[in-house]
Structure 1
Amino acid sequence: MKNAPSLFKQIETSSSLVDIIKFLKISADTKNLKWGTMIHAQLIITTQDNVIQTNSLINHYAKCGQISVARQLFDRMLERNTVSWSTLMTGYFHNGLTSEVLRVFRTMNLVESLRPNEYILATVISSCSAIRALEDGRQCHGYVVKSGLIFHQYVKNALLYLYSKCSDVEGAMGIFKTVPGSDILSYNSILNGFIEHGYLSQALEVLSKMVDDVVEWDHITYVTILGLCARLKDLKMGLQVHNRILKTDTEFDVFVGSAIIDMYGKCGKIVSARNAFNGLDNRNVVSWTTIMAAYFQNGFFEEALNLFLEMEIEGVLPNEYTYAVMLNSCAGLSALRHGDLVNARAEKSGFKDRLIVRNALINMSQRAVTLKLHI
């Protein structure tokens, strides 16, 4: 930081805790570990420990990926408040250590008289979702109901995501119908969960309520609903969603565009899928693979293989899903020699051991056996 010396001069001369907290927040938000560590060193010399200051240091180190340092600071605290526990748990969560969140939460309940607030419970419930700890999540659900914290939107959304991800349709619908106030995150969570686990009729019920509530859709909503149309092969609904995108001037990014391509492909409208693909300003491996899959699903195996060549000319590298589509297209054409070349490419790229690629290889091998039997 260019003005770091003047900053440290301010810390030396400032008696305001507010200023110190502000400096630490800046270092945390910018993930500037060096700057925050220098502030920490200066604080050791110039100030005495206090809870608020240490909480800010824990936040800084956690956001900079130094969660072990954050934990050391936490363990050395003579006095802790709710924010101390919340900051540490949030740090573990954002560093992907979700099981540790639950351990810290249990410790808090054992050694402290503090009551967890809505922020802590939302973090704990989200951690339960990440590791599919449904029973722990249900216990948190019971607590938030008794304490009234379930009426906080982010707590409700965390519970919806938990039940949806753990395929507990009854639990998700129970919260959705009984707890008032659903925002777009609520709808996206429950719709994603239901569609992912195949509960399509329940997803339609939620979609109907979302339309009635006149909730403004975001990009995730459009991708999700187009995925529902694709799963149902409901072209009429897909056309309505596509028209809504056009009318509302929604930004046509590659994810929305790929969802439109997939919808048309699943509904058997390959020309519409290709038109949507051609209309994309930017194309990545997802959009290329989606249009290839659309051709494959509709029996146009050779066209799928030709698109692979076009993708390479544009400099887009294939992923495991691309290789799977290519191998299945080779099987569909009985082009086994070409399939062997694609297989070699997949192995060289490090994708051969991916499950979807292995399944495609099995399909191609079975096709080879069938051809030999007919010779």
Structure 2
Amino acid sequence: QSSKFMNGPPQVVCRTKHLICATTAQCESLLHHYATTKSLSKTKQLHAHTITSGLLSSHHSTHPSLLATTYALCGHLSYARKLFDELPQRTLFLCNIMIRMYTQNGLSYNAIQLFVEMLASGHLRPDRYTFPFVIKACGDLSLLQLGVSVHCLTITSGVYSDTFVGNSLLAMYTSCGEKERARRVFNTMQERSVVSWNTMISGYFQNGCAKEALLIFSKMMNAGVEPDSATIVSVLPACGYLKDLKCGREVHDLVEQKGLGSKISVRNALVDMYAKCGSMDEARLVFDKMDQRDVVTWTTMINGCILNGDMRSALGFCPMMQLEGIRPNSVTVASLLSACASLYYLKHGKCLHGWAIRQKLESDVIVETALIDMYAKCNCVQLSFRVFTKTS
């Protein structure tokens, strides 16, 4: 049903600068193109043209539902909803687009509200494109009972066996802390994709079941399912948490064998795993071989040094990070401040305080707490109290 929006730019006769002579068909073709390329400014310009030229009138085929769809896919949800509410009759396709975009933009309540309106209308029957995003919205809001009700609807609607619906149920149940319900869904799935396995691995780990997460990963490998980068990022935290260096090295070998190390998130996860397993030499080897490093990479190395009691090396990464032009986040600064506190390095701590001010991170709660602690441990109670008073 979404092929018009997923097959790339269509061949169009007119361009935006020639809108004065655009026909209805050409305007619709442009709208499909703008929906695909998410061109909000051009959508607004074309919308203005359809109004002034009368192409939106009842005598022409350009329908407001197409404009609403384009606005939604461009991320302008407030105006998309305005057009949506003015439609005499809503289509399932447009409802699905609105629900999906609401969920993807963090407006989960709006997604659920629209889903309820769909059901109440009586003439729109949700399908396999509707349920995954409604279920995700339930999980995002931790609405377990509503999620269970929607689960029941997937059964009565005949879409329960769809893999995407099943994967969304797995994610919803694990995010709500219901790992056993997730397992029951997983066990009854007719087809399990790599996403299904990844969701179970990460879901079990996030619910405090690291050993079970590794067991699921082992079953995945035995089942012959090809892992992807998300699999690696899901399983390595469990290795690190359990300090299972042997398993972590095996996963690292898998990364090299399968060529999964191109993503920075995978390399960051490897650095973090080795650091938590106490093998900073191996963490540094991965770090040094990285072509690209982000703030997570540097913060992970800094935290790894601190975790393993090497405060001086942690502080040594600070000037290196600055030379590479990486902007710190609040976790980076707080970690470096904790190293200063452990070493009673007041001068370094004051420099970091100035750095935090320049980076506009001083008012972050994590940084403020670290500053208070650092000044107090460096026997500068007055400065510690000053930060505390400013915080209060």
Give 1:154-303 correspondences, 5 Å limit: 154-303=164-313
Unaligned runs of 5+ in 2: 1-11, 382-392
Structure 1 stretches of at least 4 aligned residues deviating more than 4 Å after TM superposition: 5-10, 41-44, 47-52, 368-371
TM-score (norm 2): 0.84
C-alpha contact (below 8 Å) 2:171/2:199 kept by paired residues: yes
Name the counterpart of 2:161. Answer: 151
Q: Which residue of 1 aligns with 2:334?
A: 324
**Corresponding position: 1:26 with 2:33:** yes
TM-score normalized with structure 1 length: 0.88
Aligned-residue CA RMSD (Å): 2.7
The match for 1:346 is 356
CA displacement 1:331-360 (0-9 Å, x = unmatched)? 221223422332343244232343443453
Partner of 1:11: 23
CA distance in 2, matches of 1:151, 1:138: 16
Identify which of 100, 103, 107 aligns with 2:110. 100
Q: State the shift of 1:42 in Å.
A: 5.0
**Is the 8 Å Cα contact of residues 55 and 87 (structure 1) preserved in structure 2?**
no
Amino acid at match of 2:245: L
Distance change >3 Å, CA 188–CA 359, structure 1 → 2: farther
The secondary structure found in structure 2 opposite 1:215 is coil
Distance in 2 of aligned mates of 1:279 and 1:6: 52
**What letter corresponds to residue 215 of structure 2 in structure 1?**
E
Query: 3-state SS of the aligned residue for 2:292?
Result: coil
How many residue pairs were aligned?
366
Check the 8 A contact 1:305/1:329 in 2, yes or no: yes
Structure 1: unaligned runs, 5 residues or longer: none
Deviation at 1:99, TM superposition (A): 0.8
User: Distance in 2 between the 1:164 and 1:156 partners?
Assistant: 12
Q: Structure 1 residue 238: deviation in Å? A: 0.6
The amino acid across from 1:319 in the alignment is: N
- Of the structure 1 ranges 216-225 and 354-363, higher mean CA displacement relative to structure 2 is found in 354-363
Q: Between 336-345 and 145-154, report the one with greater CA deviation.
A: 336-345
Which of these residues, 9, 29, 35, is aligned with residue 42 of structure 2? 35
SS state of the match for residue 151, structure 1?
coil
Residue 344 of structure 2 corresponds to which residue in structure 1?
334
Structure 1 residues 285 and 4: alpha-carbon distance in aligned structure 2, compared to 1, 3 A threshold:
same
Change (3 A) 1:91 1:253: closer
State the SS of the aligned residue for 1:150: coil
What is the rounded CA distance, in whole Å, between the counterparts of 1:202 and 1:146 in structure 2?
32
- Give, in whole Å, the separation in 1 of the partners of 2:61 and 2:278: 62
Question: CA, structure 1 residues 218+37, in 2 after alignment: closer, same or farther (shift >3 Å)?
Answer: same
CA distance in structure 2 between the aligned counterparts of 1:21 and 1:186, rounded to whole angstroms: 38
AA aligned to 1:154 is: F
**Alpha-carbon distance in structure 1 between the residues aligned to 2:187 and 2:363:** 43
**How far has the Cα of 1:79 moved from its partner?**
1.9
Contact 1:51–1:81 (8 Å) recurs in 2:
no
CA distance in 2, matches of 1:335, 1:154: 53
Question: Could you tell me which residue of structure 1 aligns to residue 319 of structure 2?
Answer: 309
